[in-house]
């Protein structure tokens, strides 16, 4: 069992609408819905989860003052991926070399969400996304998550509460193959099935 502790922290002005009160995704997030839908289908992650991460990480802004959005720690683009994480996802899934291109950034971020979901489930995937899988593993063994990650989880949970997806929802490809984070080779339909 995972206990979430929410610690209040200031939210940057550019992100206040998206990350602050926990409302529906803003227009800045929703403008990326076509790219989000592609990533959701490819990696079997709910659109609401991807939108929540984008809302909290970048407020849906790809640029600030005409420059690509980059955090002080070096995280890049809409889903605020660290350079090593983007490179790993790019190499594994055949993405482009520019981490600021919205589609590639969203695909890489969603692939990383999927890897963390497969490893840690819900809501652990979000803690691992923010703090890193190793730090999250240490927290499962009793170490305290950083305050930033605890705050992040609170903001993500407020975002996903607007569009809840049951944690035990699984996705099945009706074309007959298992969901794989590979490019789809044929059109398929993903249908959520809730375990009884």
Q: Look up the pTM and report it.
A: 0.74
For domain 27-162, the question of CATH label 1.10.580.10 is answered with: no
Map out the domains of the chain as residue ranges.
27-162
Residues 5-25 pLDDT 10s: 332 233 333 333 333 434 567
As annotated, the active-site residues are: 57
Residues 84-109 pLDDT 10s: 999 999 999 999 999 999 999 999 99
Contacts of 12 (CB under 8 A, 6+ apart): none
Residues 101-131 pLDDT 10s: 999 999 999 999 999 999 999 999 999 999 9
């Amino acid at each position: 069992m995972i206990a979430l502790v929410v610690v209040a922290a200031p939210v940057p002005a550019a992100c206040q609408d998206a990350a602050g009160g926990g409302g529906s995704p803003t227009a800045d997030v929703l403008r990326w819905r076509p790219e989000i839908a592609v990533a959701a289908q490819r990696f079997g992650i709910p659109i609401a989860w991807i939108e929540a991460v984008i809302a909290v990480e970048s407020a849906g802004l790809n640029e600030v003052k005409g420059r690509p959005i980059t955090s002080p720690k070096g995280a890049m683009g809409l889903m605020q991926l660290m350079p090593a994480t983007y490179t790993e996802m790019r190499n594994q899934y055949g993405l482009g070399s520019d981490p600021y291109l919205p589609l590639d950034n969203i695909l890489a971020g969603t692939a990383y969400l999927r890897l963390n979901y497969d490893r840690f489930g819900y809501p652990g995937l979000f803690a691992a996304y923010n703090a890193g899988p190793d730090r999250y593993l240490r927290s499962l063994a009793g170490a305290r998550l950083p305050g930033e990650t605890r705050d992040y989880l609170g903001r993500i949970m407020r975002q996903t509460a607007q569009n809840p997806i049951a944690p035990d929802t699984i996705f099945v490809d009706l074309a007959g193959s298992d969901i794989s984070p590979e490019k789809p080779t044929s059109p398929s339909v993903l249908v959520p099935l809730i375990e009884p």
